[in-house]
């Protein structure tokens, strides 16, 4: 619409300016094409799809996360990215408490893996599905945090993740076949889409029975055992 | 007496040249910032969508949608401005976009949210002491001025729009 104004009359202060319309329209056309294709591609590739290979324990109803103690209440969803330093801090502070809740059956715990920090998050995330295939999701997750490097430092490549899987007692051949074929890439897309719908805007985010535990400036709720336990107590978990 | 009109023309053309250089500066400032801001966000669409949701201005799914497409839009608009194509239209769209950003940031500030604007990646909730609302708004006002300047005087140095004269 407004582009028509461009041609209306001589431009103020400028020389009488007759633009070369062909070059101009070619450039406008190419730029618009890039923008439209890029935008559509981004939307489509971030949409969840229904026929997706899910690792054992993953449930669509729980945001595609891996579920422990499906029949218990309340439900704790933990949204995390294995590359995120705050997630490591959360794991180091409250990880053992959460594993204890799982073992003692005091809550339903769901781990929702996000992978928004870059390609290494995707590799690590796909690996978590492959580890779940062999029933070692928790061991794998813990190992990643114990060996977390700087974000996107180039450490978490597929060969590296496969070689570490062997040290966890995972069947290396099966794990490699799973990771190298990107078996769980679409599962991660579904997890991310579910995270968007659940309004998860950062990691780690803990949701108990649908209520997001707010992070506070002092980091009490997430990064002190007392603060986190106080949140759990609100939902009857002691 | 004979020299007078020539002097006037010479003086006018000097002024025109200076304004053309100013136009180039405005184009590169607004276009460069838009292009960089978009390009940084493209590889991490989830982050961009999350930054948009953190403003709590739009329904969740709509915010995610705009978060996915905004980086591409910024890159396209930035390219047009850098190349100097359809300068008048792209500069006014850029300026209006800046006004939109200013409104969104001001509203987040007024509602007492503590978020990063997410303009260049990042985004989402941050420590209240780390918010930079004022700096973000001042930056966007400066860029909006660049855009409106170009709307009223779109001619500038080294623009594809100048071709074919």
Report residue B99 as tokens: 């006004």
**Contact at CB, A15 and B129, closer than 8 angstroms:** no
Instruction: Please give the residue of chain B at the shortest CA–CA distance from A47.
Output: B65
A234 touches chain B (CB under 8 A): no
pLDDT above 50 for A2: no
Angle of helix A85-104 relative to helix A225-234, nearest 10 degrees, comes to 50
A44 touches chain B (CB under 8 A): no
Q: pLDDT digits over A219-235, tens only?
A: 899 999 999 999 999 99
- Domain assignment present for residue A43? The answer is no
Distance CA B55, CA B66 (A): 12
Q: pLDDT digits over A167-192, tens only?
A: 999 999 999 999 999 999 999 999 99
Instruction: Please give the residue of chain B at the shortest CA–CA distance from A27.
Output: B85
**Contact at CB, A27 and B42, closer than 8 angstroms:** no
Q: Are B26 and B163 in contact (CB under 8 A)?
A: no
Say which range, A27-36, A111-120, A161-170, A214-223, has the weakest mean pLDDT.
A214-223
Q: Are A169 and A136 in contact (CB under 8 A)?
A: yes
pLDDT of residue A212: 93
Q: Are A234 and A211 in contact (CB under 8 A)?
A: no
**Selected residues 12-51 of chain B with any CB under 8 Å from a CB in chain A:** 16, 19-20, 42-47, 49-51
pLDDT above 80 for A17: no
B11 Cβ neighbours under 8 A, 6+ residues apart: none
Torsion angles phi and psi, residue B99, rounded to 5: -60, -40
Q: How many other CB atoms are found less than 10 A from the CB of residue B51?
A: 25
Distance CA A142, CA A180 (A): 22
Question: Residue A37: CA atoms inside 13 Å, Cβ hemisphere, count?
Answer: 6
Which residue in the block uniquely carries the two structure tokens 């209240």? Answer: B128
Domain spans in chain B, listed from the N-terminal domain onward: 9-159
Instruction: Please give the residue of chain A at the shortest CA–CA distance from B156.
Output: A14
**Contact at CB, A2 and B128, closer than 8 angstroms:** no
ω into residue A204 within 30 of 0, thus cis? yes
For residues A121-137, give the mean pLDDT.
96
Torsion angles phi and psi, residue A53, rounded to 5: -70, 120
Torsion angles phi and psi, residue A212, rounded to 5: -75, 130
Distance CA A163, CA A186 (A): 23
For residues A156-175, give the mean pLDDT.
93
pLDDT above 70 for B2: no
Whole-number average pLDDT of chain A: 90
- Domain assignment present for residue A133? The answer is yes
B61 touches chain A (CB under 8 A): yes
Closest Cα partner for A212 from B53, B49, B47? B53
By residue range, what is the domain housing residue A107?
A: 64-234
Instruction: Please give the residue of chain A at the shortest CA–CA distance from B71.
Output: A39
- Domain assignment present for residue A218? The answer is yes
| Residue B54 pLDDT grade (very low, low, confident, very high; cuts 50, 70, 90) | very high
A117 Cβ neighbours under 8 A, 6+ residues apart: A81, A83, A84, A151, A152, B44, B47
Q: Name A206's bridge partners.
A: A78
Q: Could you give the number of structural domains in chain A?
A: 1
- Domain assignment present for residue A179? The answer is yes
**Contact at CB, A201 and B60, closer than 8 angstroms:** no
What CATH number is associated with residue A130?
3.40.30.10
- Domain assignment present for residue A111? The answer is yes
A202 touches chain B (CB under 8 A): yes
Report residue A92 as tokens: 């180091």
**Contact at CB, A35 and B75, closer than 8 angstroms:** yes
| Sign of the CA dihedral running B99, B104, B106, B110 | positive
């Amino acid at each position: 619409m407004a582009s028509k104004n461009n041609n209306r009359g001589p431009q103020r202060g400028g020389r009488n300016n007759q633009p070369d319309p062909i070059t101009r329209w070619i450039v406008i056309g190419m730029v618009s094409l890039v923008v439209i294709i890029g935008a559509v591609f981004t939307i489509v590739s971030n949409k969840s799809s229904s026929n997706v290979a899910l690792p054992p324990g993953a449930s669509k109803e729980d945001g595609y996360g891996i579920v422990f103690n499906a029949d218990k209440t309340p439900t704790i969803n933990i949204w995390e990215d294995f590359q995120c330093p705050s997630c490591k801090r959360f794991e180091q502070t409250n990880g053992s408490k959460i594993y204890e809740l799982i073992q003692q059956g005091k809550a339903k715990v769901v781990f929702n893996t996000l992978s928004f920090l870059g390609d290494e998050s995707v590799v690590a995330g796909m690996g978590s599905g492959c580890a779940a295939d062999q029933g070692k999701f928790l061991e794998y997750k813990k190992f990643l945090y114990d060996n977390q490097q700087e974000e996107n430092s180039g450490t978490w490549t597929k060969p590296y993740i496969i070689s570490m899987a062997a040290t966890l007692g995972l069947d290396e051949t099966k794990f490699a076949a799973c990771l190298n074929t990107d078996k769980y890439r679409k599962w991660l897309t579904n997890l991310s889409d579910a995270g968007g719908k659940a309004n998860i805007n950062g990691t780690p985010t803990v949701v108990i029975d649908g209520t997001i535990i707010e992070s506070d400036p002092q980091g009490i709720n997430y990064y002190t055992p007392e603060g986190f336990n106080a949140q759990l107590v609100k939902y009857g978990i002691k | 007496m004979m020299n007078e009109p020539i002097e006037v023309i010479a003086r006018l053309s000097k002024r025109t040249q200076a304004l053309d250089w100013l136009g180039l500066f405005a184009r590169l400032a607004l276009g460069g910032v838009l292009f960089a801001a978009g390009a940084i966000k493209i590889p991490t669409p989830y982050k961009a969508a999350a930054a948009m949701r953190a403003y709590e201005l739009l329904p969740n799914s709509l915010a995610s949608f705009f978060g996915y497409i905004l980086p591409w839009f910024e890159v396209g608009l930035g390219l047009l401005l850098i190349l100097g194509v359809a300068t008048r239209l792209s500069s006014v769209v850029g300026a209006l976009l800046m006004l939109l950003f200013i409104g969104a940031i001001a509203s987040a500030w007024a509602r007492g949210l503590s978020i990063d604007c997410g303009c260049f990646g990042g985004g989402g909730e941050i420590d209240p002491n780390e918010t930079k609302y004022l700096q973000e708004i001042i930056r966007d006002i400066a860029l909006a001025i660049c855009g409106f300047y170009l709307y009223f005087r779109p001619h500038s140095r080294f623009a594809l729009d100048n071709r074919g004269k």
